Structure 1
């Protein structure tokens, strides 16, 4: 079996004399430094910034004395610091304490899909979906991004298996585009497959009432399984959920190890998320506000000469191509009081580096315009604009 030089050096440390172990450690450090230097040289080094205030459109960042405009959060609806959401979380904390200090139940080892089944995944699905599929025992297919002809060809090949599950993001987090769920559901019906959609970047704000891409595209009755999060638009704390047929949910409760071997959500998280859902059910005004601001940002950036990837989604990737350029521009944006992050390999493919901007309902029109103005200044400075 092939083993990387770094891993070989690590594994050998416990089987050597002290002097040889020190030599192996020196070798390991040398190999690690070489790899780190390669990352720096490629311009893909990712520095971590420290936010010293609560989440919101304006934040404080360690090392900066000025107020920073935040365009780099999944706080799409601005609910993470909404006073009613915070109050609900505090009420739950006072009533139930910090947590239950235990996993849900100690049993169960089986999985939902078996070697008799097949799973078909969009090639640009989120890494968490890809990792989950790797752990699954089903036969695996990967179809080209939103390519329905390729998906159909793979569904035809997968007819030999018992169950076929098509897995896709509803909205793709790096590109800001929305899966063609109508076409996917049509193919699933044709080839007797079931559809799984991850709605982490859609729940709360896509669709007339914020139920996600299946509502947006009119296929709520055709999507079998939905997975989503409480850690983005719905308060931004933590946790997630799966919806589907009752028998499926019951089976997951019995056999899903990530569920069985994790603690239940802290009461404060549940309280915050419940209030966030209440606010959304009462009115769609927040989601409509976010949509209008997304349109404003995308149109003004296009007028300035930037290429913005994706559909009319609040994830607005400013496509730059070069990793070093994306990193330098993001650093200069921070100097101008705008918090954004450059994304490069391995988060996105080589040659497709970008700055991902995320619009929130709590951004003002002045905030949007200030961000576009800063991008234009920085873009001209670094040659990204004429």
Structure 2
């Protein structure tokens, strides 16, 4: 009988393998934040790798809403929503988001990851199929696997590939799931073509709009509104509260019957404590700011254009993206790490993203912009990139 493998030995071997591949991940501790500046290891850095796209995470109205609600209601949710944890702040936030997205109903969950698990596990099971973009977020992949359905993946941003996969899996229910904005490439899903493919195959279109909400579309309603799907089709849409809205949690929005079904059957909703009411109050304040302060999106677009123009002048080839996510592909993992470290030495925090988060040979710097960045800060980042290139790789810079 073979001897049982020891987990400790397996973990140690895996750690050494990741270290040799320049893929060992480490946490950095932020001591303090001041807008787009963060104190890390006793040193202030300009943060160009966060997701606070609209600069709302430290907005005084959002912070005041959090503090006021915590002072009145305490810090915990108290119980699950279906027991006694559903608070008026939760209900108000759900109504506001439903009104914002122009859909009948919305449901608040603890995180975007939990929301994706909730949706696919509540809708799909054995004999069903979930068709997904190959570059979808890990939570969508995990959700389909945990649901027990067949998982089929199509080439990135290929609606014809999605249609072929749907046709190849007849019988049962079907969900076509895609990111609205892809978190590592910054590009947009072809939502109108995907909506047509889903309609033709009687599949539900589910859009994880974590990186589109607040940033794209009229009133910041996200990639679904930007693609004008409100009239063509009404997909189920995920809204995360922890990126452009600067808080924590997530909301699934769509048709009344779908949301009612999720509220009564989705395990990550039914069997977990409700989000603290104070966080819902803060998110409500952030949503209202995002809806009415259009200048934040205009400012963000101006900074995106400024970064891309500056990068092009210095010979850098950023991946095509109209969003705050502006990736600079470096190739191998060690090169991406070296570039990230060189930027940090110059005072800029830009994370190196390596496999398995991105495909093999596509390690990159994921530059993320915020409406809170100043023009001079973006210009300084571009100059620091050029200086790092000249010092680390005189013959050639990163490639697309």
Q: Same fold (TM over 0.5)?
A: yes
Among candidates 26, 29, 38, match of residue 50 of structure 1: 29
Q: Which residue of 1 aligns with 2:312?
A: 302
Mapping of residues 1-386 of structure 1, within 5 Å: 8-10=5-7, 28-29=8-9, 31-54=10-33, 56-64=35-43, 67-105=44-82, 111-158=122-169, 160-221=170-231, 222-235=233-246, 237-383=247-393, 384-385=396-397
Distance 1:168 1:155 in 2: 14
* TM-fit CA distance, 1:208: 2.6
SS of the aligned residue for 1:281 comes to helix
SS of the aligned residue for 2:305 comes to helix
SS of the aligned residue for 1:209 comes to helix
Contact 1:289-1:361 within 8 A present in 2 as well: yes
Change (3 A) 1:163 1:300: same
Distance 2:187 2:68 in 1: 38
* TM-fit CA distance, 1:348: 1.2
* TM-fit CA distance, 1:55: 5.8
Structure 1, unmatched stretches of 5+, are 11-27
Contact 1:56-1:75 within 8 A present in 2 as well: no
Contact 1:178-1:310 within 8 A present in 2 as well: no
Question: Which structure would you say has the larger RCO, counting Cα contacts within 8 Å and 6 or more residues apart?
Answer: 2
Farther-moved stretch of structure 1 (256-265 vs 44-53): 44-53
- Cα RMSD (Å) of the superposition? 2.0
Pick the structure with greater CA Rg: 1
Change (3 A) 1:179 1:55: farther
Distance 1:101 1:54 in 2: 29
Contact 2:330-2:336 within 8 A present in 1 as well: yes
* Cα-to-partner distance string for 1:226-247 (whole Å, 9 max, x where unaligned): 1121111112x31101111111
Contact 1:55-1:80 within 8 A present in 2 as well: no
* TM-fit CA distance, 1:105: 3.8
Q: Which TM-score applies when normalising by structure 2?
A: 0.85
Q: Which TM-score applies when normalising by structure 1?
A: 0.88
* TM-fit CA distance, 1:47: 2.5
* Cα-to-partner distance string for 1:175-232 (whole Å, 9 max, x where unaligned): 1110000111121222222210000001111113200111111112313201121111
